[in-house]
Structure 1
Amino acid sequence: MTDVKDHTTMSITLTEQDKITLRTAAYGAVSLLAAAGATGSPHKVATEGSVALASATGLVGHVLAEKSTGMNLNGKSVAELADHVLPALTASMSLLRKQAPAEADNFRGTVLVAVEAAARAQKGEPGPAMADMARKITEALDAA
């Protein structure tokens, strides 16, 4: 069996800090949803969102699959977590738009699928706080 690689994706060079920013943005978006009013089980919200991120393909999939060290997903409040994550979402989109426009679309789509998967982990419709956080995540992705 032969390996076939997309040479446009594989020729992109991301620094270790770039990769940390992408992982912080993606996994942080899921963490924000779990923290922002998940009723029932925030762990189920985080798990469903993380499973969606693990399904990513292309360069984004490779970066998200790497060992997740160096991410700053700490905070004593949702506001502190958002202070790290929302700018990382915008920075990730900006970085990918410059280096690989198709991967920017892939990253945006991957994060939005994870947001939707996390929201669906709720029993019933997501509450207002979770819906508002999903809107803020989308705005941060589109701000670049």
Structure 2
Amino acid sequence: MAISLSDQDKNTLRTAAYGAVSLLAAADAAGSPHKVATHGSIALASATGPIGHVLAERSRIENLDGKSVAGLADRVLPALTAAMDLLRKQDPAEAENFRGTVGIALDAGVRARKGEPGPVLTEMRRKITEALAAA
């Protein structure tokens, strides 16, 4: 099944995916946030299928420069849920592709840092995972 996405839908998907990586990096402020963001973003850019095409588009993603982790979470967590809801309605397999893609990006980000993830990073990963499952 082919999916049909408006420009707003594509923006929601990019905000959700790249926002999740940004949120994870922001939660690792005491560790290696740049490594988390870089490796997570590289993983997103490596996505395939319709989701890969959307994530590869070179358009600016608005409002991912929150002044706090809480502000960023207020934007990203609902976008993750909205993205999953949007994709499930059109193509459940593509929704699972999106969930897997974001999960791999988070794994790549966590593995890029030195040492085991601390409780703050682990908790943020849990919140992101819950947002993906909430739809």
Could you say which residue in structure 2 is the equivalent of 1:37? 28
Residues of 2 paired with 1:40 and 1:68: CA distance? 29
Q: CA deviation at 1:38?
A: 4.0
CA RMSD of superposed structures (Å):
1.1
Given the alignment of the two structures, is residue 112 of structure 1 paired with residue 75 of structure 2, yes or no?
no
- Residue 17 in 1 paired to residue 2 in 2? no
TM-score (norm: length of structure 1): 0.90
**For 1:75-116, what per-residue CA distance to the aligned partner results, in whole angstroms no more than 9, with x for missing partners?**
110000000000000000000000111100000000000011
Residue-by-residue CA offset, 1:46-99 (whole Å, 9 max, x unaligned): 000001101111110000000132432121100000000000000000000001
* Larger deviation, residues 115-124 vs 64-73: 64-73
Q: What count of residue pairs does the alignment treat as equivalent?
A: 135
Residues 23, 71 of structure 1: 8 Å contact kept = no
Q: TM-score, normalised by structure 2?
A: 0.96
Residues 38 and 130 in structure 1, CA contact (< 8 A), matched pair in contact too: no
Query: Is the contact between residue 38 and residue 122 of structure 1 (CA under 8 Å) also seen in structure 2?
Result: no
Higher-Rg member (1/2):
1
Q: Within the alignment, does 1:46 sit opposite 2:37 as a pair?
A: yes
Can you give the 5+ residue segments of structure 1 that lack an aligned partner in the other structure? 1-7
Any runs of at least 4 consecutive aligned residues in structure 1 with deviations exceeding 6 A, and if so which?
Answer: none
Show structure 2 runs of 5+ residues with no match. Answer: none
Report the secondary structure of 2:58's partner residue: coil
The percent identity for this pair of structures is 73
8 Å Cα contact 1:39/1:122 also seen in 2: no
